[in-house]
Amino acid sequence: MTFATGLICRECGATYPALARYACDFCFGPLEVSYDLDAAKGAVTRESIERGPLSMWRYADLLPDPGDAPADLGAGWTPLRRATRLAEVLGVRELWLKDDTRNPTGSFKDRVVSVALSSARRLGFTTAACASTGNLATSVAAHAAAIGWPSVTIIPSDLEKSKIAMAAIFGGTVLGVEGNYDDVNRLCVELVAEHEDWAFVNVNLRPYYAEGSKTLAFEIAEQLGWRAPDQVVVPVASGSQLTKVAKGFEEFVTLGLIDGPAPVLFGAQAEGCSPVATAFRSGADVVTPQRPHTIARSLAIGNPADGLYVLDELRAHGGDCGSVPDSDVLECISLLARTEGIFAETAGGVTIASLRQMLDRGTIDPDRSIVAIISGHGLKTLDAIVETATVSSTISPSLADAEEALRFHQLVAAS
Ligand X SMILES: *Cc1c(COP(=O)(O)O)cnc(C)c1O
Summarize as ranges the residues that interact with ligand X (CB under 6 A). Answer: 107-109, 135, 235-241, 298-299, 345, 347, 375-376
- In the bound state with Zn ion, the residue whose beta carbon lies nearer, of 7 and 177, is 7
Residue 180 near which of Zn ion, ligand X, none (CB within 5-8 Å, type-dependent): none
- In the bound state with ligand X, the residue whose beta carbon lies nearer, of 107 and 290, is 107
Q: In the bound complex, what is the minimum distance in angstroms from residue 306's beta carbon to Zn ion?
A: 16
- In the bound state with Zn ion, the residue whose beta carbon lies nearer, of 203 and 236, is 203
Residue 308 near which of ligand X, Zn ion, none (CB within 5-8 Å, type-dependent): none
Q: Are 201 and 68 in contact (CB under 8 A)?
A: no
Residue 11 near which of Zn ion, ligand X, none (CB within 5-8 Å, type-dependent): Zn ion
Say which amino acid occupies 70.
P
Dihedral sign computed on CA atoms, order 308, 310, 316, 320: negative
Residue 375 near which of Zn ion, ligand X, none (CB within 5-8 Å, type-dependent): ligand X
- In the bound state with Zn ion, the residue whose beta carbon lies nearer, of 16 and 226, is 16
Using CB under 5 A, list all residues that contact Zn ion: 9, 11-12, 14, 24, 26-27, 29
Total residue length of the chain: 415
Q: In the bound complex, what is the minimum distance in angstroms from residue 7's beta carbon to Zn ion?
A: 10
Say which amino acid occupies 338.
R
Q: Are 52 and 44 in contact (CB under 8 A)?
A: no
Q: In the bound complex, what is the minimum distance in angstroms from residue 329's beta carbon to ligand X?
A: 12
Residue 135 near which of ligand X, Zn ion, none (CB within 5-8 Å, type-dependent): ligand X
- In the bound state with ligand X, the residue whose beta carbon lies nearer, of 73 and 347, is 347
Residue 29 near which of Zn ion, ligand X, none (CB within 5-8 Å, type-dependent): Zn ion
- In the bound state with ligand X, the residue whose beta carbon lies nearer, of 199 and 257, is 199
- In the bound state with ligand X, the residue whose beta carbon lies nearer, of 320 and 345, is 345
Q: In the bound complex, what is the minimum distance in angstroms from residue 135's beta carbon to ligand X?
A: 3
All residues at 6 or more sequence positions from 296 whose CB lies less than 8 Å from its CB, including other chains: 270, 272, 273, 326, 329, 346, 347, 349, 350
- In the bound state with ligand X, the residue whose beta carbon lies nearer, of 40 and 378, is 378
Residue 269 near which of Zn ion, ligand X, none (CB within 5-8 Å, type-dependent): none
Q: In the bound complex, what is the minimum distance in angstroms from residue 210's beta carbon to Zn ion?
A: 16
Residue 138 near which of ligand X, Zn ion, none (CB within 5-8 Å, type-dependent): none
- In the bound state with Zn ion, the residue whose beta carbon lies nearer, of 6 and 29, is 29
Q: Are 273 and 300 in contact (CB under 8 A)?
A: yes
Give the Cα separation of 277 and 127 in Å (integer).
Answer: 36
Q: In the bound complex, what is the minimum distance in angstroms from residue 28's beta carbon to Zn ion?
A: 7
- In the bound state with Zn ion, the residue whose beta carbon lies nearer, of 29 and 52, is 29
Residue 12 near which of Zn ion, ligand X, none (CB within 5-8 Å, type-dependent): Zn ion
Residue 237 near which of Zn ion, ligand X, none (CB within 5-8 Å, type-dependent): ligand X
